[in-house]
Amino acid sequence: MHPEGIGQSVLRREDPRLLEGRGQYVADLFLEGMLHCAFVRSPHAHARIRSVSTTAATQAPGCVAVLTGLDMKADAVGKMTPLWLIPGADNTRLIEPPRWSMAQDRVRHVGEIVAVVIAQSLHEAMDAAELVEVDYEALPCVVDVAQAASADAPQLHDEAPNNRALRFHRGSKPPVDAAFERAAHKISVNLVNHRIICAALEPRAVVTQPSPSRGLDGHALTLWSATQVPHHIRKLVSEQLSITESSIRVIAPDVGGGFGTKGKLYPEETILAWASLKLAKPLKWVSTRSEAFVSDYHARDHSTHAEMALDAQGHILAVRVKTHAALGAYVSTVGAAVPTTVYTAVMSGPYKIPAIFAEVHAMFTNTVPTDAYRGAGRPEACFVLERLIEEAAVQTGMDRFELRRKNFIGKQDMPYSTPLGPTYDSGDFIRLFEQALKLADHAGFAERRRASEQSGKLRGFGICYFVESSGVAPSRYAGTFGARAGFFDSADLRVAADGSIVIMCGTHSHGQAHATTFPQLLASTLGVPLASIELVEGDTGRVPYGTGTFGSRSMVIAGSAILKAAEKILAKAKTIAAHLLSAESVEHKVTGGVCAFVAPDGRQLGWPEVARAATYGHTLPVGMEPVLHETAFFDPSNLTWSNGAQACEVEIDPATGVTQVLSYIAVDDVGVVINPMVVEGQAHGGIAQGIGQALFEAASYDPATGQLLTGSFMDYAMPRADLLPDFITATDETQPCTHNPSGVKGCGESGTIGAPAAVTSAMMDALGSVGVRGVDMPFTPMKVWEALRAAPLPLPSEKVSP
């Protein structure tokens, strides 16, 4: 075992540079002659643009140019194209109304860009932007996804009657209907999975630099963006500008948090690219937090009616789900895929459900577009299933833990194909479930609940189990659902004469610790010290084509490509070593982190000696190319199916409605664990974000005006460290992935996927003890307090003797 290799909790190598303030973010870039941009954004949720007057703004001090959507139209800049053309029911397709980077004649959400002001300084650009006069004709708006389909709802797009972009079906309806006909128990729930807003530490930012002569690097334009997907940005921007992909270089330097929200194309990237080429000047824009709230893609926003059919013994016979999902004002990059193909793929969860039918209506509303945010469709599906299970336990009188146990897919059933299409390759769900209950000391919960009641408080125990489609790929699967790109990834390994190695990948690390974990793969495979391995990512001008980092995919896909390339290098190195030792073959041995190529007679060479021989080429076998340099691409045959159990306890103070999360346990199957400390950190962050949605966070719009009411941290509540308990996390490595070389499964989103369901389970257990039911997330103090005022049973404080 390599002391710095797979399975070791190596400290994150990227942290010292970031902690010491030596990170390099887009906002840190200052180029000679650089101009600054400020955007004029719509104050209306829905309005017709009668005119835009830029005269006063162009005369403002320092102003260089004011450009509008009509200027982009005159230059034939194309519309923004989503990455997925999702197929709909009955041979229909996703309706994609034109979305322009700057509005041309109509705005459809507060924050939509109407003009860009370019000036010598940021303050001059902001001052000039105040002078742009836009004459709007305000139109009626609709912000509630459940109301968007009503006959009298305002219509956002002529191309989409009843505001519906897509009607999506998955599964077979007749078997489901038949199962409900014979069911002993029929359970139904109405659920709201509310809209939330990502709040990455670093706001989005873009810098562009034109190079008409194509300069030394051969690119007409270099675009720096705080993005997770440099190659996707290059593709989408080049398509809008009708120039070749190879003429654009996209660089994503350090990025201060992405969470999926920064893994999409935004209008600002294309606007700055176009304006920079038009003016032949470098440009810069850094979002303010206020802008971020009304322009960064939002997430979730589902209204769902779900039903479950069970036999008399509690075995699930069928599930039927109908969801209205808000796309927002437009179809964003992956916005249509999240509530359709991603959401429905895991609707079977960990349970044996013979028949499932899911129907999704993707709806337009006068709100910021929605897209993938940590979990992306998987938290919503987990929430639906777990609420059905819990409601079934309440209505049938069955034990909610036993109900899960009798319906779990067994380890012996793997590989298991769900009625919705996906095939799980591995998993031992009951094992993780029992481990979570043990770590949570569920056996002692009744005593703890009594203690809480004695102090006048309510206590609840929550549980959930989820299955997650992670390692987003394969390309063939994505193609069947209308993807307009491949989902493979790549690795380019270059060994220098001294044996040091550079890894170049098409992924991007913004908290995932790639600079630590990717080299750990090589340390174990090749037997080289971690200090001799460096990683380059995020630069389309340097790295091979890659899909980027999102969907818990980097280690699964790029890590596999690294291992494939490493195998090629090792095979060549062994051939060289055997030739140098005049041996028929050599054995590659790693002892204490040191590599040796050993001949049958015991003679040996070290890694640096072989690397030097390969690079100099003096004594290579006849016909062999010099240098240890290999490239590999990996496109898996299946997604990976991460899964896990989460348990928590909450305590509610009925006098104030305040909820305290007392404990939180997560047991995850993420396959082989490369770095336990990194995996634990990913779990902690995900749980915190999931608890945030369950208890604190909610994006709220005024239904009459479409104004975002939670447009700052004064109104949008974030989870804080002092509100969270210590997390207890564990991993189970007994069920590695069967279709990638390292056996890993994705780990970055598991905490967020389970936490809303687990916390809701605990809250309803606590509230249910006094007869309160039907409370939706987020469980804010006011909402909980009001629900308890109407409790049909006495509160603990009313039971306590004076």
The strand pairing partners of 145, in sequence order, are none
Q: Which of 555, 498, 554 is nearest to 521 (CA)?
A: 555
Q: Name the pairing type of β-strands 587-591 and 594-598.
A: antiparallel
Q: With contact defined as beta carbons under 8 Å apart, do 70 and 51 qualify?
A: no
The H-or-E segment that residue 14 falls in is none
Across the chain, which has 802 residues, the per-10-residue mean pLDDT values are 93 95 96 97 98 98 98 98 94 96 98 98 98 98 96 96 97 98 98 97 97 80 98 98 96 96 97 98 98 98 98 98 98 97 98 98 98 96 98 97 98 98 97 98 98 97 97 90 94 98 96 96 95 97 95 96 98 97 96 93 96 96 96 96 98 97 98 98 97 98 98 96 96 97 96 98 98 96 96 81 47
Phi-psi region of 229 (alpha: psi -120 to 50; beta: other; left: phi over 0): beta
Helical spans, DSSP H, in 654-727: 676-695
Give the residue ranges of DSSP H helices in 718-795. 750-768, 781-789
Bridge partners of residue 493, in order along the sequence: 503, 630
> For the sheet containing 35-41, what is the strand order?
63-68, 113-119, 35-41, 283-286, 205-210, 221-225, 248-251
Q: Residue 787: CA atoms inside 13 Å, Cβ hemisphere, count?
A: 25
Which structure tokens are listed for 562? 């690294």
DSSP letter for each residue of 490-517: EEEEEE-TTS-EEEEES---SSS-HHHH
Can you tell me the distance from the alpha carbon of 281 to that of 607, in angstroms, rounded to the nearest whole number?
Answer: 48
Position 800 scores a pLDDT of 52
C-alpha torsion sign, points 732, 736, 737, 740: positive
How far is 461 from 451, CA to CA, in rounded Å? 14
**Distance, CA of 98 to CA of 159 (rounded, Å):** 9
pLDDT at res. 270: 98
31 SS3 class: coil
Q: Helices 750-768 and 676-695, interaxial angle, to 10°?
A: 40
Q: Which pLDDT score, from 0 to 100, does residue 802 have?
A: 45
Inter-residue contact 309 to 318 (CB < 8 Å): yes
What is the reported pLDDT for 216? 66
Specify whether the CB–CB gap between 344 and 381 falls below 8 A.
Answer: yes
Structure tokens at 392: 């079934």
Q: Are 402 and 780 in contact (CB under 8 A)?
A: no
Full-model pTM: 0.96
pLDDT number for residue 790 = 93
Question: CA–CA separation, 788 vs 795, rounded Å?
Answer: 8
CA gap 304, 359 in Å, rounded: 10
Residue 342 token pair: 């991603």
